[in-house]
Amino acid sequence: MDHSLRRKLDRITDILWAGGVTNPVTYIEQISYLIYLKLLDEEEANRELRARLAGGNGVRLFPLQAERYRWSKWRFKSGNDLRDFVRDEVFPYMASLVKGEPQVAGYFRDAVLEITDPNVLKQVIDELDGIEFQKLGPDVKGDVFEYLLTHLGQSALNGQFRTPRQIRAFMVQMTDPDLGDTIYDPACGTAGFLIDAVDHILARYSENPEEVPIYGEDWLEKRGQTLEEAKAEIPNLQTYRKGAGDLLPDWKRLEASIHGTDVSRQMMRIAVMNLVLHGIRGARVKRANVLSEMSGLTEDDLHRQYQVILSNPPFAGQIPSESVRADLPTKSKKSELLFLALMMRSLGPGGRCAVVVPEGLLFGSTKAHKDLREKLLRDFEVLTVVSLPAGVFKPYAGVKTSVLVFRRPKTPPEDGASATSRIWFYEVRNDGFDPDKIQSGGRPETPAKNEISGLLAAWAGYEASRFRTPPGVEAGSVLDPGSADPRCWWVSFETIKESDFNLAASRHKPLVAEETPQDDPAELIREVLAFENEITKGLETLLREVEAS
């Protein structure tokens, strides 16, 4: 994405902010509506061209009298006429296309134009009109929306903020989705995990995949460096791969494999537009409260199982017990336990899951906590617990978190047996950003201190052993004095069982022995006695002064 396009997007968000649309979730949603209308107009122009070349009429989005609802027909309007036409005629028409364009109709169902100032609306439309989305490649269109979504990273409202790229990237790499896997995020938000999973697959099926720093391509431009130069200077620079997917055998199969749900209608629309601009128009995403009996899911949705689940579900909150789905393997009302239970319920045989969880879920002492952890360890193979820095979600949340990675065996363990034999722990102290400082609404970059690249290197070795030989030492070990603070270690199922299935990394971390003092014991005793004598003399002096007064 070039600088001129970036400046245009900045102008759009500045116009909306100055015009009173200050909630980032709201103004990204409003921009999404307008981008969709522009995309549909461009799609109609393509259909007209194909119809002329084929010598027929073809299927039209805006047939006959509906032509007036096209972007190119009304974008010249202004004032109240423009605002009222878009709000009262264009939006309702789009929502009416249930038979011909159900995805479009679903997107505009209950849509509300919240840009009430017609002058602001006109300015935004004029800026967007200068972007020919059809001429932008999927990567650039995706970058356009990703750039807009950075505004969610600068302001978290109603608990809605994006999972940082560096966390999403390693979770996707550890689950390693491939074409043919069904991929699901039950709390998908802006669809970041789903798009990262798609990028991972496209890179695998690309002749020339591109390696990108987690800080973005702009980061390299600002440094005036190539990727090779940056990696030479920062050996542990964390990157991810992108590609055009030119070797992908079946695009529709990939689209149909993407599933997501979110309880927020606004976030659902933002997720859909994010996917559309990344070239994924056929993803199966919908608004639903997946923890509730009144979820909005079909029977097929409720019973579908997935091969890859990636998520950072909301931690806080409780669901009324009478509303909780009866098919979940827990009776808790806590959302973090319910979401984990849902993922366990939804993971198919051989499937992999990576989920961000609050630390309290790993060591909570209630019966619901312990029972769910035991079920997880017995019925699933817990591969690793990655302990994240306390400040990873600052400035929006300070709660300590970890990432659980587990998979479902292709065949259930025998009665009394446990699918998990040992668990690998890895402690990440720095994720490439300062854990303590906040600058300009975010954490300053610390790429040289990023420990995620070390995690991924260790994971690659663990994976190569078919998860039989975890790196590091066994929990309970006492390391020699002067040893480096361990980054990773492993724990047997029996040890975990003895600790009430406590999965907190700190609970099992090996200790480093302290250096044995080299001082002469007799000399130490003499020093203590001398110190005691000084105290005694001081007290005697004080006593004489008290008696004299």
pLDDT in tens, 327-356: 898 888 899 999 999 999 999 999 999 999
Q: How far is CA 352 from CA 101, 214, 526, in A?
A: 34, 23, 63
- Tally helices (H) and strands (E) across the chain: 22, 14
Q: What is the pLDDT of residue 156?
A: 46
How many Å apart are CA 327 and CA 369, to the nearest integer? 17
* Res. 448: pLDDT tops 90: yes
Q: How does 394-410 read in b/e, with b if 16+ C-beta sit within 10 Å? A: bebbeebbbbbbbbbee
* Residue 6: band (very low, low, confident or very high) from pLDDT cuts 50, 70, 90: confident
pLDDT of 72 over the 90 cut: yes
Residue 218 pLDDT exceeds 90: no
Number of neighbours of residue 44 by Cβ within 10 angstroms: 18
Q: Of 261-265, 317-321, 455-459, which gets the smallest average pLDDT?
A: 317-321
CA dist 420 and 17 (Å) reads 52
Provide the 8-state DSSP code for 134: G
Q: What is the mean pLDDT of residues 449-476?
A: 94
- In angstroms, how far apart are the furthest CA atoms of the chain? 121
Q: What is the pLDDT of residues 367-407, one digit of tens each?
A: 999 999 999 999 999 999 999 998 787 766 678 899 999 99
Closest CA relative to residue 374, chosen from 501, 237, 528, 191: 501
Which position has the higher pLDDT, 47 or 239?
A: 239
Task: Supply the pLDDT for residue 159.
Answer: 47
Which is more confident, 232 or 264?
232
Structure tokens at 22: 């200050």
Q: What is the pLDDT of residues 124-137, one digit of tens each?
A: 999 999 888 878 77
Q: Band of the pLDDT at 440, cuts 50, 70, 90?
A: low
Backbone angles phi, psi at 71, to 5 degrees: -50, -45
Radius of gyration of the CA atoms of the chain, in A: 29
Most confidently predicted of 120-124, 219-223, 241-245, 481-485 = 120-124
Query: Once rounded to an integer, what is the mean pLDDT over residues 109-131?
Result: 94
HSE of 377 in the Cβ direction (CA atoms, 13 Å)? 25
| Residue 216 near residue 237 (C-beta atoms within 8 A) | no
**What average pLDDT does this structure show over 179-208?**
95
Domains and CATH numbers, the chain: 3-135 (1.20.1260.30), 348-542 (no CATH)
pLDDT value, residue 396: 65
**pLDDT > 70 fraction of the chain, expressed in percent and rounded:** 95
Q: Are 170 and 392 in contact (CB under 8 A)?
A: no
Mean pLDDT, rounded, of the chain: 89
Strands (E), 345-459: 347-358, 381-387, 401-407, 422-427
